[in-house]
């Protein structure tokens, strides 16, 4: 038995793996069930009754979102409790993390944190382009060298202080939308946002100089610590009064690709030298046969070469 939207002819077969567009159609129009013998409206997983949550197939709860209180159009976000067996990160506790889909580009981490703070105290918010494990962050770059942020709908992981906040978010009434922009919280969009980004792109010389000085200070400190460590290792390996030398194990160097390739070639040469050639009698016979066949082949090639040279030396008076 399949399901299809009332105004769309696209059939949605079980097990209800829906994308964002299909989920929006399911929420907006409901879905019908055609069984042989009758045509009746099947109960939708999304309830439009007041003070009730909208639950769609797949276990997601739809939350309505408005940019401000004056707009009539609503956006849909889908939330679900984060339950992944392979998740071992302490930054996403399984009993206090809410998985959020379809977050608009104009919602930053601070905005998402304030939106979901009505369900409970929010500890952290993480936004990314695709769902997945927490990526290991590389070297921390200066705020003047950050890459351009991709403007697209995102997924989020909202971590609460208490597990009860997850239940509160999942049971939020569908007819009470979350409001992004209010008197207490303003979100700049359009021309105002572009003007602010343009002004922020100019760096004050004093600010940049302070950042450079701080970086060089940390670099000099790290260099002095490295020199001090090498000096201590050198002193530890000096001879004492009785002539003994204390040998300490140094820090292993990271193996590069070229060093690994060189080590592998060395091991292959060593292994080849250790191989026993012609250990068995049949190996010795095969080697002799191959050697004789090679000599015969060279002899025939030499004969052909000599015959060709003789033919070229013949006297031709005309």
Please write the tens of the pLDDT for every residue from 38-47. Answer: 333 344 445 4
Q: Which residues pair with 75 in a beta bridge?
A: 65
What's the CA gap between 89 and 87, in Å, rounded? Answer: 6
pTM for the full predicted model: 0.49
Say yes or no to pLDDT of 78 above 50: yes
3-state secondary structure of 77: strand
Best CA proximity match to 65, nearest among 1, 112, 7: 112
- Please report where in the chains the tokens 């003047």 appear, as a residue: 144
Please write the tens of the pLDDT for every residue from 206-234. Answer: 888 888 899 899 999 999 999 998 888 77
pLDDT band at 31 (very low <50, low <70, confident <90, very high): very low
Say yes or no to pLDDT of 298 above 90: yes
Share of the chain above pLDDT 90, in %: 10
- Which contacts qualify for 66-70: CB closer than 8 Å, 24 or more apart? 66/177, 66/178, 66/179, 66/180, 67/106, 67/179, 67/180, 67/181, 67/187, 68/179, 68/180, 68/181, 68/182, 69/179, 69/182
pLDDT at 312 (0 to 100): 80
pLDDT at 224 (0 to 100): 93
Q: Which residues pair with 60 in a beta bridge?
A: 56
Say yes or no to pLDDT of 119 above 80: yes
Strands 38-40 and 31-35: antiparallel
DSSP 132: -
């Amino acid at each position: 038995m399949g399901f299809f939207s009332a105004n769309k002819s696209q059939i949605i077969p079980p097990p209800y793996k829906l994308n964002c567009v299909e989920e929006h159609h399911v929420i907006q129009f409901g879905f019908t069930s055609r069984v042989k013998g009758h045509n009746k409206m099947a109960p939708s997983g999304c309830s439009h009754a007041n003070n009730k949550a909208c639950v769609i197939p797949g276990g997601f709860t739809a939350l309505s979102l408005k940019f401000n209180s004056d707009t009539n159009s609503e956006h849909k976000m889908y939330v679900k409790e984060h339950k992944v067996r392979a998740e071992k990160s302490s930054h996403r506790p399984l009993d206090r993390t809410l998985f959020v889909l379809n977050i608009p580009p104009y919602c930053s981490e601070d905005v998402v944190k304030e939106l979901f703070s009505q369900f409970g105290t929010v500890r952290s918010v993480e936004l990314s382009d695709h769902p997945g494990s927490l990526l290991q962050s590389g070297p921390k770059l200066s705020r003047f060298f950050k890459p351009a942020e991709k403007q697209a709908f995102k997924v989020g992981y909202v971590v609460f202080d208490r597990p009860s906040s997850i239940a509160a978010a999942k049971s939020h009434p569908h007819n009470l939308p979350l409001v992004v922009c209010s008197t207490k919280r303003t979100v700049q969009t359009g021309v105002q946002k572009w003007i602010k980004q343009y002004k922020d792109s100019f760096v004050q010389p004093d600010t940049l100089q302070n950042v450079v000085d701080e970086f060089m200070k940390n670099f000099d400190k790290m260099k002095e610590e490295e020199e001090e460590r090498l000096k201590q290792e050198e002193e530890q390996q000096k001879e004492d009064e009785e002539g003994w030398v204390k040998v300490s194990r140094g820090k292993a160097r990271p193996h590069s690709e070229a060093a690994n390739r060189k080590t592998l070639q060395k091991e292959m040469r060593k292994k080849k030298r250790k191989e026993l050639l012609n250990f068995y009698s049949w190996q010795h016979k095969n080697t002799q046969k191959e050697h004789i066949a090679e000599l015969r082949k060279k002899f025939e090639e030499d004969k052909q070469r000599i015959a060709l040279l003789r033919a070229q030396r013949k006297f031709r008076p005309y």
